[in-house]
Amino acid sequence: MTQAAELTPAARKILDAAAELFYGRGITAVGVDLIAKEAGVTKKTLYDRFGSKEALVAAYLGERDERWREWLTARVLSGDAGAGPCERILRTFDALEEWVRRENPRGCGFVNAAAELPDPRHPGRKVITGQKRWLRDFLRELAVEAGAADPGRLADELVLLHEGATVLGGLHVVAGPVAAARSMARGALVREGCQGGAGAQAQ
Amino acid sequence: MTQAAELTPAARKILDAAAELFYGRGITAVGVDLIAKEAGVTKKTLYDRFGSKEALVAAYLGERDERWREWLTARVLSGDAGAGPCERILRTFDALEEWVRRENPRGCGFVNAAAELPDPRHPGRKVITGQKRWLRDFLRELAVEAGAADPGRLADELVLLHEGATVLGGLHVVAGPVAAARSMARGALVREGCQGGAGAQAQ
DNA sequence: AATGAGGTAGACCGATCTGTTTACCTCTCC
DNA sequence: GGAGAGGTAAACAGATCGGTCTACCTCATT
């Protein structure tokens, strides 16, 4: 847990309302008055707790980022250490599948936010690039453990598949984008010398 | 050409200004007053020509869609009919590479627009889904010509790679996303029984 | 010479935007 | 029992939002 516990009850309600509205309707289109009203809170309280809409946006993205990281690591590194590293890589797509289904009906929240925050100085931008970089590093580490011939390249490809599947999941033009991404990932793993099941890893 | 020629000079300037502003700063964040000012035109003229901001957004997306289709088909089906169908599929990534470099510094314009248009009744939504569906159909047709074992599946995978590369191109966290997508596409082509060069196609 | 299309200039409308302020209430902790 | 933190309620500010309107100009076509 991060500073979530440090949030005041009112701040908690504000952040929950903001998360739903920002993701569901867009950041620019949602005003602070609406957020305060949905949260059952005064606008003054909102500004006392978060200082500005910019900061509230950054807090929304930060918490979403945190939840995604916890979700992914829990599903991938969970319990059974017996699972091979290649299997762990494939599991990131299983984790993504469920995440997209339950949290991403409108596509990637970070990509969507990036579309609305062109100003590079916006505090939310750091969160967005941090989220993407973290995913790439996480996948690269898994690729190294899997004994990939070129872990950097494999990580880039896996990020590409993750991103494409997440975005396409919100567009409803391709049937099962995450499954397609997973099967392509398997192909890349084979090429890199990892056959899937247990064992077969260097190190 | 479509109705582009039918546009009055002022309408042309409005659409150009709108395209740059909508893509560069976001749709919701850009007001009609700013568009009119940038176009060197009166707000009344804007409303006389386009009727509403909604319609102007749809026109912006429609023209962007048209330009992308022309760009892609021209680069893929250009001149030398001697090129094999598998090569044509790979060429879609070459076309994308240049398109992303010169037109997509901030990611896919359609994905970005979708993020800002949650209302399914917005006229721009039809353009967005139409663009994605067209790309999938186009790639599927190429896959059929290439004698792919499963053209539908291949098309889904190719769309996934296109989308992922386009989006990642605007995030600057992975070095050469389109090149990575292209190399993965080659892998998928090999799996589908198409070896690249000329010949080797069924039919 | 008249007409209508395509413009400019600019005021105006009501609503909404982010953000601030004053006044008052209710706890908890020291 | 005083202080401070965390609130509510509501008015206020100035800017901007999408959109309308009147008045006038210019030009090509008939």
Cβ contact, residue pair B28, A25, below 8 Å: no
Distance B30 CA to D11 C1' (A): 30
pLDDT score of A159 more than 90? yes
A53 shares contact with chain B (CB less than 8 Å): no
Q: Find the nucleotide nearest B44 (Cα to C1′).
A: D20
Pairs across A and B, CB distance < 8 A: 138
Can you tell me the mean pLDDT for A115-139? 97
B29 shares contact with chain A (CB less than 8 Å): yes
Cβ contact, residue pair B157, A111, below 8 Å: no
pLDDT digits (tens, 9 = 90+) for A41-62: 999 999 999 999 999 999 999 9
Top residue of A134, A156, A186 to mutate, by most chain B CBs within 10 Å, is A156
**Domains of chain A by start residue, with CATH:** 7-51 (1.10.10.60), 53-203 (1.10.357.10)
Cβ contact, residue pair A167, B164, below 8 Å: yes
The pLDDT, as a whole number, for residue B156 is: 97
pLDDT score of B3 more than 90? no
CB < 7 A contacts with chain D (nucleic strand): A 8-11, 40-45, 48-49; B 30-34, 43-44, 47, 52-54
The pLDDT, as a whole number, for residue B73 is: 96
Can you tell me the mean pLDDT for A69-84? 85
The pLDDT, as a whole number, for residue B2 is: 46
pLDDT digits (tens, 9 = 90+) for B32-81: 999 999 999 999 999 999 999 999 999 999 999 999 999 999 999 886 66
pLDDT averaged over every residue in chain A: 92
CA distance B148 to B190: 9
